[in-house]
A and B are shown apart, each in its own frame.
Chain A
Amino acid sequence: DAGVIQSPRHEVTEMGQEVTLRCKPISGHDYLFWYRQTMMRGLELLIYFNNNVPIDDSGMPEDRFSAKMPNASFSTLKIQPSEPRDSAVYFCASGTGGDYGYTFGSGTRLTVV
């Protein structure tokens, strides 16, 4: 299996632009998580899905952030409009919800200038 695939690896955008991050989970995994990591705040849970349904989006910072999972093999995290404080590494992780943990993608490093 290719693991959890995220794209793009790096994204540099100007303030006010729309940014879309993409994630393909491991086949057969029914949980998908979006995290944001910064030096100051560590690894923050933004939202997670089970069987394509959002379960908890309480970590989404504000209405500028939205996430979708239209099917079991694809999810997006969108920021519109982007701001410099959104600069961070965004990770996607997937798993089966059992006791065996979750696998992370390589992350997307977002820089908003």
Chain B
Amino acid sequence: QKEVEQNSGPLSVPEGAIASLNCTYSDRGSQSFFWYRQYSGKSPELIMFIYSNGDKEDGRFTAQLNKASQYVSLLIRDSQPSDSATYLCATRGRRGKLQFGAGTQVVVTP
């Protein structure tokens, strides 16, 4: 079992709709959780981080964390074609180790 699991997609989302991405992790010692966006041929770019249970909102993005269920999610509201990318979930464990899931490809269709 991988330490961080994501559905690979692609997740097809109509423009203006909500994209919902999910991530589960196996290490209960994980302390912080991150969502990175990666455009094709580019490096990953941090878009959200969360470390407390509940929701965290930043613009059109909302991250949700449930440590009891070992579950992290990302909602993208009012999806735009520019949101088409691969979204990587990452966890920071003990001693600062940063592990990534395989990523979910999102395709926003006009």
**Interface residues of A, Cβ cutoff 8 Å to B:** 31, 33, 35, 42-43, 45, 48, 50, 55-56, 91, 93, 95, 97-107
Contacts and interface: CB of A to CB of B under 8 A. Distances in A.
A50 B32 contact: no
B100 A48 contact: no
Contacts of A55: 95-97
B49 A104 contact: no
Given A99-B32, A99-B49, A99-B51, A45 B100 contact: yes
Interface of B: 31-32, 34, 36, 42-46, 49, 51, 88, 90, 92, 95-103
A104 B95 contact: no
A45 B97 contact: yes
User: Which secondary structure dominates where chain A touches chain B?
Assistant: strand
Nearest to B99: A45
Contacts of B96: 31, 48, 50, 55, 95, 97
- A-B pairs, top 6 by smallest CB distance, nearest first, are A97-B96, A101-B46, A42-B102, A104-B43, A43-B100, A99-B32
Contact of A56 (B49, B51, B95): B95
Contacts of B100: 35, 42-43, 45
A50 to B, nearest CB: 6
Contact of A101 (B34, B42, B43, B97): B34
Given A43-B88, A99-B51, A104 B45 contact: yes
Contacts of B88: 43
Looking at B42, B44, B46, B88, the one whose CB has the most chain A CB atoms below 10 A away is B44
A91 to B, nearest CB: 6
Nearest to A105: B43
12 contacts: A31-B96, A50-B96, A55-B95, A93-B98, A97-B92, A99-B49, A99-B51, A99-B92, A101-B46, A102-B98, A104-B44, A106-B43
Given A45-B99, A101-B49, 12 more contacts: A33-B98, A42-B103, A43-B88, A45-B100, A48-B97, A95-B96, A99-B51, A101-B32, A101-B90, A102-B46, A104-B44, A104-B45
